[in-house]
Chains A and B, each alone.
Chain A
Amino acid sequence: MQNLNVNSERYTLNMGPQHPSTHGVLRIVADFDGETCVSADPQIGYLHRGMEKLLESRTYVQGMPYTDRLDYLAGVNNNLPYALAVEKLLGVEIPERASLLRMLSCEIMRLASYMVGIGIYIMDLGAVSAVFYPYQQREYALEVMSALCGARMTQGYIRFGGVQADWNEQCDAALQKLLDEFPPFLEMYHKLVDENEIFLHRTKGVGVVTAEQAKAYGLTGANLRASGVSYDLRRDAPYCLYDRFKFKVPVQQAGDCHARYVQRMEECEVIYQLIKDIYAALKETEGGEIMGKVPKVLRVPAGEAYAQTENPKGIMGCMVASDGKTNPLRVHFRRPSFDNIAIYSELMPGHKMADLVTIIASFDIVLGEIDA
């Protein structure tokens, strides 16, 4: 390797797979010239469980609990594209109440996932106390899910044709707690972090992604919107009953690590409002059906179907190919975190070592999804 700078040494550094700030088992092989990164290469596969193969060897229904383990911070959101794709092949009609319950649980888990994303981001920059406040809010969100379907993280709540269980009083109480606690938290968190000079210095102008770059690399979700591209599947290609609800899609123009933080914080407000609206709509369908007409032994007609949803990390897509048997011929997932990290090799060179941590954290990746 040629040394560009006579005063510094060039070396290769392995960040991860066992590194606390790589969000699990991501490994970045980076070349440094002194403190400055000259090339970076994300290596993946340390959490590979062969999810797509596992789904092929099980029946459609049995595959559902496995999808939770992709983005394990928002289990129920991963159920949805799989269910939607299979339902396209089945051609079943989803009752209104079931659709609302799907949306409500997805928004609650989206909020929970954003809380982790924001909290861990700030913690990776050194502010450890700032991780616990969002986690408290996440706890309230998980309480709702555990009252609804019995599990906190790997919910597997969605079934083909509807959902597993109906809303009850315990869910009411848990959701009320979340709705009461969240606005004061958001205000407090803005006070805690927004003006912190260290945070601003470490994030402003770091890891700038332009709108062109973001589109070229296929970024989705909050990372795309932080670069000035206003694209949200819930608004632009609505699934479930999202077309019934009016909500704003926040956009940032800067595209740097700071913008990605601001973007998530602003989206939290939108999610909060959406939860309230969907909950109000759910109350009007009291006593409605939660399962469509689906045969007990599921034989999915031969064919292929693709469905995509807006997940907390970006657009999750699911492709299901069926040959008419009880188990799928092939299932493939488009996992948003996997596509989001591709830009690292271009984004990281030129930054200092500590900025690499900022960049990784600002993208809010989850390794269960990257490695599948």
Chain B
Amino acid sequence: MFGKGILKGLMVTGKEAASKRLTEKYPEEKPNLPDRWRGGSFALDKEACINCGLCAMACPNKVIRQKFEKDEENKKICTEFVMDRQYCLYCGLCVEACPKGCLHFTQDFETAVYLASDVPQDLLADGNMEAPRSKYGEKPPLPKPVITPKPAAPAAPAASAAKVEEGGDK
């Protein structure tokens, strides 16, 4: 009979229409973001930052605007640390590059703003450390070093091992 297949399909649609709702009722229901979420805004632990500039060097799109100066004691200080988020790819390379683990993604996702000038995020003025932090780029704890009673190996293999550093996860 012509139309049997259509009826069979419509029965499926009818059954699905009566089934449980799968969508989230945003904004009443908030999405459940995974731990490693990347996106939204950034957070910076200003105390831990060593002003090395590696994050800016890792960025493919020149999102991170940094300026460094020398203070009276000839110490390097940071005078500007702005994330131009309008260019950001949310690739996470900056967070991974930070040797101190002080740059983070946050779990913010409602980042729409009224003014274009509010998009760049001045991390020096506000480190944004209260925001729920994402675990992206966090390194797993290193295994406990096995302490051997006496130094057995000569220095040569240690030096060559130091040359080849591991990329990415350290």
Seen from chain A, the residues whose Cβ lies within 8 Å of a Cβ on chain B are 58-59, 61-66, 129, 133, 136, 143, 146-151, 154, 156, 159-162, 164-166, 168, 170, 174, 188, 191-200, 290-291, 293-296, 298
Contact = CB atoms under 8 A, between A and B. Distances in A.
B52 to A, nearest CB: 13
Contact of A147 (B12, B34, B39, B60): B34
A221 B107 CA distance: 38
Contact of B5 (A61, A168, A197): A197
Interface of B: 2-6, 8-9, 12-13, 16, 22, 33-39, 58-60, 89-93, 96, 105, 134, 136, 140, 164-169
A294 B37 contact: no
Nearest to B165: A296
A165 B134 CA distance: 14
B9 A191 contact: yes
Contacts of A164: 92, 96, 168-169
15 contacts: A61-B167, A66-B60, A147-B35, A150-B39, A154-B89, A160-B167, A161-B168, A168-B35, A192-B12, A195-B5, A196-B6, A197-B2, A291-B169, A295-B165, A296-B167
Contacts of A298: 167
A154 B165 CA distance: 27
Nearest to A129: B13
A93 B165 CA distance: 15
Given A164-B96, A191-B9, A150 B36 contact: yes
A231 B52 CA distance: 51
Contact of B35 (A159, A170, A291): A170
Contact of A193 (B3, B9, B58, B167): B9
A290 B22 CA distance: 35
A101 B90 CA distance: 21
A143 B35 CA distance: 12
Contacts of B89: 65-66, 154
Contacts of B2: 197
Contacts of A136: 22
Select the residue from A59, A136, A188, A197 with max chain B CB neighbours within 10 A: A197
